[in-house]
Structure 1
Amino acid sequence: MKADDEVRTVAVAGVEFGWGSSGKVSAVLSALRGHRGGGLRFVGLASGLGRPVLAGQPVERWIDLPDGELDEAVAEAVRAERVRAALVVLDGRLAKALRSCGVPVVFVDSLPFLWTDGDRDDLPLDADVYCAQRCVELPPECAGVLADVHRLRWVDAVIANGTATGRATPARPPRRALLNLGGLRAPHLTDWSGYPRIVLPAALEALTAYGVDEVHIAGNLPAALTGRLVDACSTPARTTAGALTHEEFLDRLGTCDLLLTSPGLTTLLEAGQLGVPTVCLPPQNLSQIFNGRFHSRALGTDVRVAWPKTVFTEEDALTLRSDGEGRALDLIYGGISRAAEQYRRETATAVRQALLGVLRRLEADPGVDWGALTTAVGTGGAAQVADALVELLGAAAPVR
C-alpha cells in the first residue's frame, strides 16, 4: 500500500458534559470530509452521552472507558486500534492520557473564558495543538492560564459549515418553537432531573400563554419523565419530544420561529448562524452563565431568564469560581436541587413569568440581529480545527 493510500485512525472524544462537545466533534468530522489525501478512520472514546448526536457521522466503533484506571484503558485502545492522532473536545483528562502514550492530540477548548488557576491541573496545556475558540470577552484571570499553553491556536466558532445571517424578530407571536434542554447529565451530578422538572413545565406553559401552536422538546430526556411533565401542564396544541442527531437538530432549528434553550454555547452559536430568535432559559452550570451574558451583550438586549435569588445568584457563582469550576458548580447544582425538592411550584411560576416577560419585550423590539454573537466570533472554526488535525497527522510517525 502506498503511503498516500494509508488509512490512518483518529480517536475522537467529547467531554461527558452536555451535548455541545459532541456537536463540535460532529462539525469537525464534517469538515474533514472536504480534505483530500489518505483515508481517515474514526474511533470514538467514551462519549456515551453524545453518541446519539454523532449517529450520522462515520465513527466506526465506540470504546467505553472506565472512570478509574484511565491511562491503562486508553493505552490498550491506542494499541488495539493503531491510533495515529486524536481530536478531543474539552476532556482534559483524556487528552493527557492520550499524550502520555504517545498520541498527538488536537484539543478543542470552547470555554477559554471559564478557567482560573484552580483549573490548571485539568487542562492539557502541553497539547500538540490547543485550539481555543474565540470569545466575546476574556476575563483577566483566564489570560494567565492560557499564556501557559504551549501551542495555542485561536479558532472561530466550531460549528457546522454555514454563513451567519440576520433575521429580525417576527412581527407577530411565533407559531413554531424548539425547546432545547441540552445534555443535562453532567458528570458527578447524581440527580440531574431537578432542572427539567422546574424548567420544562414553566417553558411549555409560557409558550402556550404566548400563543405558540407547535413545539418540539429536544434533549436527552427519558420519554417517561418527559411524558409525566408534559401531561401535568398546559402545552401548545402540537407538542412532540425526542432526542435529535446533530443534523436533525440543525434542520429543525432552521425551520422554527423561536428557540428556547438552556444557554449552551454551541447551540447559541448555531442558532445565531441561522438567525433564529433565541431566548436563554436559566443556566444549568457555570459556563452557561457566561454564555447567556455574552449572547445578550452581543445582541444589545437581555434575552436571559435568570433563576430567582432563592435558587442562587450568578454573582455568587462567579465569585466562587476563583477556587475552580467545581466550587461554583456545587452552588449551582445544590440550588437547583433544593428548588426542585422544596419549592418547585414557586420557582416554576417565577421562571414562567420571567420567560413571558422576555418574549413580550422582544416582540416589541423587532430590530434584533440574532446573528450578532456568531458574527463576532466567526464561523470557520470547524475547518480550522480540521486543518490542524490534518497537519498533525502529516507530522505523526506511523504506528508499528
Structure 2
Amino acid sequence: MLQTVFSRALPRLSRLSVCHYSAAAIPAPSTQPEVHYNKLFINNQWQDATSGKTFPTINPATGEVICQVAEADEADVDKAVKAARNAFRLGSPWRRMDASHRGLLLTRLADAIERDSAYLAELETLDNGKPYAVSYTVDLPNVVKCLRYYAGWADKWEGKTIPIDGDYFCYTRHEPIGVCGQIIPVGHLIQQASGGSNLKKVTLELGGKSPNIILSDANMEDAVEQSHFALFFNQGQCCCAGSRTYVQADIYDEFVERSVERAKRRVVGNPFDLKTEQGPQVDQEQFNKILGYISSGKREGAKLMCGGGVAADRGYFIQPTVFGDVQDDMTIAREEIFGPVMQILKFKNLEEVVTRANDTKYGLAAAVFTKDIDKAHYVSNGLRAGTVWINCYDVFGAQAPFGGYKASGNGRELGEYGLDNYTEVKTVTIKVPQKNS
C-alpha cells in the first residue's frame, strides 16, 4: 500500500507493552552477533552510498565500534525515491497486485522476523543497549503482531456508497498516497521543510513530558511499581515515559520512600545478562545530556533522593535517579530528559493536578492511578494527551492508535486510524441513465 523509501533506522512498527517473562523461555544470546548487512537497501539490493561514505555505529555498553555503516545522502534518497516511484507507476506489477496477496507478503515478513527473533534481538541490544530480555520478549513480538495486524487490513480498507441527490451512483475509494518516506528523528524539522514548501502530508510522533498522577486511594504497591516502570523502561528513553509523577499530598512521603527503595534495587549492567533491568544510554551525547539535567535539578533545588551519577567505569551507564520536592517551573519538570531520572511532584486536589498536568507544550501520554472510577473518568477526560492509561502504563497494541496533542505531534500511527495517514479518499460519481417514459 505504500513504499517506504528511506530510513536511517528501522521504522518503529511496534510499541512497548508491559511484559512479564521467564528467563527459561528466552534463548541464550550471542553477545557478539555477526553483522551481515551494513549497506543501504535500495530497489531490493544492498549497495554502498553513492559517496562511499560510512559512519561508525557504537556499542553503548563499551563505547567500542561495532561496524561501519553506509551513510546515505541526497543522491541515495533520490535513487530510492526513483525506484519506489517506478514500482508504483500505473500498471506496474506492484500496483496491480491483489490486495490479499499484499497481505500475504506482510505475513511472510512477519514469519521471517519471528523465525530470526533471537538474532534480531541480539543486534538490537548490541546497537542500543536495551536489555536482551526486553528486545526478545517485547520488541520483536510486537513487530510481528503489528505486521500481522496490517496484513489483515490489506483487503479490508473499504470505501462507501453514498446516496447523493439525483440520478447518480456515488462511491468512495481509499487509494494510497504513493511514495512515502519514514525518518525516525528530527520530526519538527521535517514538518517545517515539508509543510512550509510544498504541502506534503506529514505525520509526526514527537516528544513528551507525560504526567503520571497517583491519587491517595490508589493501590500503593502497584502504583509504585507501575510508576517505576513508566519512567525507567528502556533506560528512560521512551517518548511517552511517565516523567512527571504527581502524587497526592497525604501519600506523598510513603510513595517517595518506596520509589527510592525500588530505584535502588534496579539492576543496572550488561544488557546481555538476563537479570539486567537497565542497560546503557544509547550514546555519548545522550549520556552527557542526562547528566546535565541531573546537575540542573540539584542546582535548582530539587531533592536528590538516590542515584545521580555514572554507574560503570566504561559505557554510557547512569544510575537510576529519583528527585523529590520537584516544582513545576524547574528545568527537569519542563524539558524532556529522555533518561533514567524520575521527578516526583506533590499535589492536593484533582482540579489542581489536571491544570498542572496540562501546563506543558507536550501532550503525548498520561496516566492516573485510582480505585475510584468517577475520579478516573474526571482526570482522563480533563487531560490533554493522545493516550491516557488508567491503573497501568505503557500498554500498547497494534490495534490502538498512538500519537500526541500539541507539540507532541500530529496524526496517528497504528490501528485503523493509522491507515488514514497513508491514503487519499477519492469520490467517484456515475450518471445512471433513466428509461424514457
After TM superposition, the score normalised by the length of structure 2 is 0.25
After TM superposition, the score normalised by the length of structure 1 is 0.27
Structure (1 or 2) with the larger CA radius of gyration: 2
